């Protein structure tokens, strides 16, 4: 016999942690600034001086579903045009053997959680399409935010909000008593990817508004 208390804990556990297959409320496009990322990891190739995709994460109100049961097994990407496009926008910065394993990992972890709307091919196409909606490098530059300059979190948020209409999620690295480095920008979209929406949750490393941050050159 299982004790009632244990049953309720078990129930809660299943309820909170079991992702309903392919069921998500919104999407978060996570862009990274490669030159910050490559301070924490070894990057064998020339490091891009533009934002690249970290991932496209289907998300829910309360928790982010991951590793959803796949309807179909992952198909390695073979179309050379697609590969070229993905290598440009979604490169594995830590690999000098191409990014295929990174894409597979990201798809299995995140892409499987949006299968009710996007099959594998559509998921990758969507990620590129969403990234192409905004040229954040240019947007930031238009607001006087360029690599190696120091700005505040609010400056960066406002600049991005000027084009997306919503405050982005920011993820910074470094010591908060000094100038931190901007690592990632999260932009949330509705399920269809047609409208930017406010992200439901702030990232833990989203520093407060007056924090000084920079994009390392
Ligand atoms: C940076 O990336 C954006 C979005 O993909 C692109 O439109 C822009 O041309 C790129 N800028 C440079 C300087 O490469």
**123 alpha carbon to ligand 1 midpoint, in Å?**
21
Residue nearest to atom 6 of ligand 1 (CA): 135
Quick check: CB of 131 below 6 Å from ligand 1?
Answer: yes
**pLDDT (average), residues 114-142:** 97
84, burial (CB in 10 Å: exposed 0-12, middle 13-18, buried 19+): exposed
Is the pLDDT at 216 greater than 90? The verdict is yes
For residue 135, the CA-to-ligand 1 centroid distance in Å is 6
At residue 15, the pLDDT reads: 46
Distance of alpha carbon 91 from alpha carbon 83, whole angstroms? 10
Question: Of 66, 57, 2, which is closest to residue 26 (Cα–Cα)?
Answer: 57
Instruction: State the pTM of this model.
Output: 0.90
Q: Across the chain, what does the average pLDDT equal? A: 92
Is position 143 annotated as part of the catalytic site?
Answer: no
What pLDDT shows up at residue 60?
93
Segment holding 171, helix H or strand E: strand 169-173
Residue 61: the pLDDT is: 86
Helix (H) or strand (E) holding 181: strand 180-190
Mean pLDDT in residue range 31-49: 97
Catalytic residue flag (residue 54): yes
What percent of the chain clears pLDDT 90, i.e. is strictly above it?
A: 84
**pLDDT exceeds cutoff 90 at 4:** no
User: What is the average per-residue pLDDT within 90-105?
Assistant: 98
**Residue 32, beta-bridge partner list:** 52, 184
Instruction: Say whether 206 is catalytic.
Output: no
Domains of the chain: 21-214 (3.90.730.10)
């Amino acid at each position: 016999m299982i004790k009632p208390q244990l049953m309720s804990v078990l129930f809660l556990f299943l309820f909170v942690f079991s992702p309903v297959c392919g069921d998500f409320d919104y999407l978060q496009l996570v862009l990274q600034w490669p030159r910050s990322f490559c301070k924490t990891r070894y990057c064998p190739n020339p490091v891009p001086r533009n934002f690249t995709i970290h991932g496209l994460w289907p998300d829910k109100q309360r928790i982010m579903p991951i590793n959803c049961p796949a309807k179909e097994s992952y198909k390695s990407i073979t179309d050379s045009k697609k590969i070229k496009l993905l290598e440009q926008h979604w490169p594995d910065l830590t690999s000098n053997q191409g990014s295929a394993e990174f894409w597979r990992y990201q798809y299995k972890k995140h892409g499987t959680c949006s299968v009710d709307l996007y099959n594998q091919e559509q998921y990758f196409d969507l990620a590129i399409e969403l990234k192409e909606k905004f040229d954040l490098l240019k947007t930031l530059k238009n607001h006087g935010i360029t690599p190696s300059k120091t700005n505040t979190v609010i400056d960066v948020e406002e600049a991005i909000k000027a084009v997306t209409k919503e405050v982005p999620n920011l993820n910074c690295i470094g010591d908060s008593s000094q100038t931190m480095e901007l690592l990632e920008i999260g932009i949330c979209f509705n399920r269809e990817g047609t409208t930017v929406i406010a992200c439901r949750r702030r990232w833990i490393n989203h520093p407060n508004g007056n924090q000084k941050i920079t994009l390392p050159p």
